[in-house]
Chains A and B, each alone.
Chain A
Amino acid sequence: MTAKPLVTDLTVWIGGAAGDGIASAGESFAKACSRSGYHVFAYNSYQSVIRGGHVCMHIRIGQQKVHTQGDPCNYLVALNQDTFQRYAKRVTAGGAILYNTDKFKADAAQVPQGVQLIGLPVMELVGNQLMQNTALMGALMQVLGLDAAAIRELLEERFNKKGDAVIKVNLDAFDKGAAFVQEKHQEGGIRIGKGDGKRRPLAGGNPMLGFGMVAAGLRFYSAYPMTPASSLLHWLVKYAAKAGIMVKQCEDEIAAVNMAIGAGHVGARAATGTAGGGFALMTEAVGEAAMTETPVVIVEVQRGGPSTGLPTKTEQGDLFQLLGASQGEFPRVILAPRTVAECYDVGVEAMNLADKFQVPVLVTSDLYLAERLETFDGVNITNVPIDRGEMVTSADGNLPAAPNSLGNGGAAQAGGYRRFLDTPSGVSPRALPGTPGTIYTAATDEHDQDGIVISDVFTNPAERVRMMEKRMRKTDGILKVLPKPVLDGPQDADLTLVGYGSTYQVMLEAMEALTQEGLKVNVLGIRNIWPFQAAEVAALLKKCKLTMSVEGNYLGQIVKIIRMETGIEIQHHLRKYDGEPFEPKQVIDQARTILKTKPKQSVLATVQSDEGLPPNFSPIENPAIGAEAARQH
């Protein structure tokens, strides 16, 4: 056989019904690749809930960093007919479709030219339908021509507890799948070059955010289950007992956030996590944390809204909710990590900012970032910065020994303690309950520097203004320590793509693709949403020629925040609110169009994903496809 040219990245889609074991098969494959020195990006798409239970994992492997799940489908593993119906026509020439001939009859007429159809007679081969996925994995590795050592190792690890017999059955099934392809089929026409041999970590945004918080000393996490935040709860609880972290499932999100605030008040580093709907319930407590100056981290993993919306779909529609949550004005931090590795960094940073500035820190990602699997080169686990800010640990409080000029009378005396001392930074040194001599009450009603409520007095404008300004002043300090935004790519680009959070990487991919076409594009990926770094962002945007926003929402929320804070209008816009993440091609095509046509008027384009079903598809006439509604809330 003649050697074909190698590609630098390729995609495998594994689709089937919920319960077919897509996630574990897909994760095994992804992990085998990451252990073999490939960069991996996997996105598990739960297709239409109404038509029921369809799951498709898109796995892309590359010799260099892959930023997204990619566009084409090179290889398809179809565990049911639905998958075949939807995606067979999309498989690219040189690729292959693998399926179990016991499950359905694949219509060869639907298979594009140049695509191999590989039907495994699973029962005949291995005598056990439970081995379907393992046999198909063997076949897949064979057709891809990938080294099977890593996946064999994973099978051994996975079935280790079940004993040698189970390991052997699985390895046999794997080998038989591989042998079947070797005997009856050709190797795939799309082959990837060798990986670099480095075993990279492979993780999702939620676990890495949890890991970051743990690394920074998280001791208490409370939550009410809600997709897509639940995997953060699950990851944390897996390590909680041995890591000395208390994880508490609560009766609702109101309890969850208030428990975290209670734990934060006594000095345990505390966080809670939820999706948009749960965050709506937590809203009142965001202001509670700010007013009582209690450190707390609140994670909001966005999904499609409004209301219960699209429980298993992604969207970036909650920025305004985060920004506006809770009545009144107070300092808050909103961070939106952009990559899986950055979820870790932001987890660490959020814990520190909450303590140092005694404010609620809101961390927001979305389903696409939280539930994807992505390789990265590592994160800082050896020298994790820990900053609690100023603490008072003895009865010798925070008031100067010399007569002070606070001028508020009351309990002020040298060596005394004022919990809410008016300082130039706005941050008051904090004593934890249990410390002798520094007793105070933290109140959500307006209070003076000693914590004594002034809500019951007739009126006290001076004290109110003092405390309001003291709290708000923290924003200046926060702005000083936030990492500065940067432009990725050439500084003199002809087009700048602007977005926040999870769309960062699809913008990077578009930039790289367009660079290959000889076009000059760069990317402004906003990570720090609030306080908004207006001066820095404005300075960057002023250098830009053409600008186009890329946002997973309808209104263009980050665009509006940029305009509100800098007065700068992003010129063109690409938006998506169909529940699926941007596909690289959608961004590349629109960016190219803008670059080539340089429209005088602002262009607002929206894109959608193709769900893959044939036109006039009826779930009623296709009960095998329409069955099994897998709802997840």
Chain B
Amino acid sequence: MGDQQEKTASQKRGWLGGVVLLILLSCPWYWSAFGGAEDQWALPGWLLWSLGLALAIALITAWASLHRWHAGDNDD
């Protein structure tokens, strides 16, 4: 595998790993650590935390979709 292909594969793994991590963080396993059911700016803390992570997932996905490595030029 050449340097460029290795870099591309690494970028893909990094992006996907980041999104999976954010998805896991957005799950309310540990909601009490982030405001719980108490209100923060009119919404329950857990909901705001989860929505904030949804925004982060959307932005990272939008950013990733513009990157050329998704077109698969180097991954045949």
Do A and B bind? no
